[in-house]
Chain A
Amino acid sequence: MIKRKVLAGIGLGMTAALALSGCSGSPEAEGAVTLQMVESLTNPARTALLEELIAEFEAENADITVELVSPPTDQADQKIQQMLQAGSGVDVLEVRDLTVGPFSTNGWLDDMTEEFDGWAGWDDLTDNAKKVATATGETYFIPYGFYGISLFYRTDFVEQAGFDGPPEDWEELLEQAEAIQDPDANTFGYAFRGGKNGYTNAVLAISAYVADDIDVTNAYKLTNGDSIFSAPEAQDALEVYFSLFEKASPPSSVAWGYPEMVEGFTNGSTGFLLQDPEVIAAVQQSEAVSEEQWNTAPMLKGPSGKAIQPLATAGWGIAEASEHKEEAAKLIQFLSEGDASIAFTEGNSLIPILNGAADAEFYKTGAWESYLAMNENPDAYITAEQPRGAAWWTEWGEKADAEVQQVLIGQLTPEELLASWDAYWTEKWASE
Chain B
Amino acid sequence: MSRQQTTLKERPSTRAGAPAAPRARRRQFTTRRGFVILAFMLPAAVFVGVFTYYPMIAGSQMAFRNWNLTNLTDTSWIGLGNFEKILADPSFGTILGNTVLWVVASIVPQFVIGFAIALWLRRRFRFRGLYQALIFFPWAISGFLIGILFRWMFNGEFGVINDVLKKLGLIETGIPWLAEPSSAMFAVIVANVWYGVTFFAIMILAALQSVPDELYEAGALDGASKARMLFQITIPTISTTLALTVLLRIIWIFNFPDIIWAMTGGGPANQTHIITTWMINITQRGDYGMASALGLLVVAILLIFSAFYLMALRGKKEVTA
Decide if B158 touches A263 in the complex (CB within 8 Å). Answer: yes
The answer to whether B270 touches A402, judged by C-beta atoms less than 8 angstroms apart, is: yes
A186 CA to B159 CA in the complex, in Å?
A: 12
Q: Is the CB of B286 within 8 A of A251?
A: no
Tell which of A391, A394, A395, A408 touches B268, judged by Cβ atoms closer than 8 Å.
A408
Are A405 and B285 in contact, CB atoms less than 8 angstroms apart? no
A260 in contact with B155 given A252-B177, A394-B284 (CB within 8 Å): yes
Once the chains are docked, how many angstroms separate the CA of A410 from the CA of B271? 13
Pick from A51-59, A100-108, A199-207, A354-362 the stretch touching chain B. Answer: A100-108
Contact A394 B73 (CB under 8 A): no
Within 8 A of A (CB), among B248-300: 264-265, 267-271, 281, 284-287
- Whether the Cβ atoms of A394 and B285 lie closer than 8 Å is yes
Which of B35-43, B129-137, B178-186, B194-202 participates in binding chain A? B178-186
Q: Are A405 and B268 in contact (CB under 8 A)?
A: yes
Q: Is the CB of A251 within 8 A of B281?
A: no
B270 nearest CB across to chain A (Å): 5
- Docked CA distance A264–B159 (Å): 12
A78 interface residue per 8 A CB criterion: yes
Q: Give the size range of A's interface with the partner.
A: 35 or more
Chain A residues with CB below 8 A from B109, complex form = none
Give min CB distance, A100 to chain B, whole Å. 12
Q: 1/0 contact trace for A253-286 toward B, CB 8 Å?
A: 1110100100110010100000000000000000
Q: Is B81 an interface residue (CB 8 A)?
A: no
Q: Is B69 within 8 A of A251, CB to CB?
A: no
**Known pairs A269-B157, A402-B269; A254 contacts B71 (CB<8 A):** no
Does A325 sit within 8 A of B, measured CB to CB?
Answer: no
CB-based contact B158/A269 at 8 Å:
yes
Query: Given A252-B178, A260-B155, A269-B158, A398 and B267 touching (CB < 8 A)?
Result: no
Are A250 and B156 in touch, CB under 8 angstroms? yes
Expressed in whole angstroms, the Cα–Cα distance for A91 and B32 within the complex equals: 51
A183 and B271 alpha carbons, distance in the complex (Å):
26
Among the listed stretches A19-27, A188-196, A327-335, which one makes contact with chain B, having 4 or more residues with CB under 8 Å of it?
Answer: A188-196
A202 and B179 alpha carbons, distance in the complex (Å): 18
Taking a contact as CB atoms under 8 Å apart, the answer to whether B268 and A254 are in contact is yes
Give the nearest-CB partner of A263 in chain B. Answer: B158
- Asked if B176 and A395 sit within 8 Å, CB to CB, the answer is no
A188 partner, pick from B71, B155, B157, B181, beta carbons under 8 A: B157
* B76 on the A face (CB < 8 A): no
Q: Interface SS of chain A: helix, strand, loop or mixed?
A: helix
- Which residues of chain B are near A408, meaning CB under 8 Å? 179, 268-269
User: Does B173 interact with chain A (Cβ within 8 Å)?
Assistant: yes
**Which residues of chain A in 400-416 are interfacial with respect to chain B, using CB atoms and an 8 Å cutoff?**
401-403, 405-406, 408-409, 411
Residue of B nearest to A187 (CB): B157
Contacts A188-B157, A255-B179, A402-B270 known; A195 to B265 CB distance under 8 Å?
Answer: yes
| B72 within 8 A of partner (CB) | yes
Question: What is the bound-complex CA distance between A402 and B181, given in angstroms?
Answer: 12
| Minimum C-beta distance from B262 to chain A (A) | 11
A255 & B285 in contact (Cβ 8 Å cutoff): no
Residues of B within 8 A of A401 (CB): 267
* Inter-chain contacts of A252 with B (CB < 8 A): 155-157, 174, 176-179
Decide: A102 near B178, CB < 8 A? Known: A188-B157, A255-B268, A409-B268.
no
Which chain A residues lie closer than 8 Å to B270 at the CB level? 402
User: Would you give the shortest CB distance from B133 to chain A, in whole angstroms?
Assistant: 30
Bound together, the chains give a CA A398 to CA B270 distance in angstroms of 10
A375-386 CB mask vs B (1 if < 8 Å, else 0) is: 000000000000
**Is B70 on the interface with A (CB-CB < 8 A)?**
yes
18 more contacts with CB within 8 A, not counting A102-B71, A264-B157, A401-B267, are A78-B284, A81-B69, A101-B70, A102-B69, A105-B72, A188-B157, A194-B268, A196-B265, A252-B174, A252-B177, A254-B179, A254-B180, A254-B268, A269-B157, A394-B286, A395-B285, A398-B285, A402-B267
- Chain A to chain B contacts (Cβ below 8 Å), 24 pairs: A85-B69, A105-B73, A106-B72, A183-B173, A195-B265, A195-B267, A250-B156, A250-B157, A250-B176, A251-B176, A252-B155, A254-B178, A254-B267, A263-B158, A267-B158, A269-B158, A394-B70, A395-B285, A402-B267, A402-B269, A402-B270, A403-B269, A406-B269, A408-B268
| Top 5 closest pairs, chain A to chain B, by CB | A252-B156, A254-B179, A252-B176, A405-B269, A251-B176
